[in-house]
Structure 1
Amino acid sequence: MALKIGDRVPEFSLKDQHGKLFSSDSLVGIKPMVIFFYPKDDTPGCTKEACSFRDSYEEFKELGAEVIGISSDSERSHQKFAEKYNLPFILLSDQNKKVRKSFKVDKNLFNLLPGRETYVIDKKGKVMMVFNSISASKHMVKALEALKEIERI
């Protein structure tokens, strides 16, 4: 069963596209996070999803949030992906799928592809939104709506 609204974000540390260790604890208590799990760098759906977050990145920043993409690709693959599409946010390498498992992100599409799931985590580390859809185009919109709703509260 996936994480639910109200759950606490699992603590995790992974390397980013620059080889630096990122820890979720570095943001809890400081700013909201938008964490999107995606299947694979530089594939059509994942590129569409990442570029939609890129195109709205300033809106996320204005709302005080950090955007974080996670897949099982290597740091080097993430670096190439970020450079090719000018992605300004953090991409984390979860090669052993440990973080994906801690968030309980299941496989999609006949258990062939890693799941595509987006979480909005508030400043206190509480899950405020969970969106699971193989459709890459809706994740950014849902996350932005959820963040705006948090701002209103």
Structure 2
Amino acid sequence: MDKGYEDAKPVIAALKSKGVSAIGAAGFCWGDAKRKVVVKLASSTDIQAAVLLHPSLITEDEIDNVSIPIAILVAEFDEYVPAELFKQFGEKLSTKSEFESFVKIYPGVAHGWTVKYDAEGKSAVKSAEESHLDMLNWFTKHVK
């Protein structure tokens, strides 16, 4: 996670040097600690908003350190992290009045549903598209 976070810093600095004044980051569970980079970024002032999509292995300490608007999009059926844990994280985040947070549990889907789904399945496509729209709306609202 630390290497990924450190690798992100020069990219963020380069964007800012080109006049980009606000940056958002999305983290998908693509294995190992890659998904944790966005959680660490969300604990800094490097970005303005974050979205986690089907995250796993996120800890309570990491959630405690979040300091920017964050949306967490979770599968109802996730073999890595129970949706109930993210409900608790959402309750914890909601006590922080200095920024907005959002946790949404998508019914009937499993871990990875936003990027790994049956394109022929109407329900799967609908859930994936809904999560993409939720992510875009979050960034539209908070990355200005």
Question: TM-score, structure 2 length as denominator?
Answer: 0.30
Query: Which structure: larger Rg?
Result: 2
Higher helix share: 2
Question: TM-score, structure 1 length as denominator?
Answer: 0.29
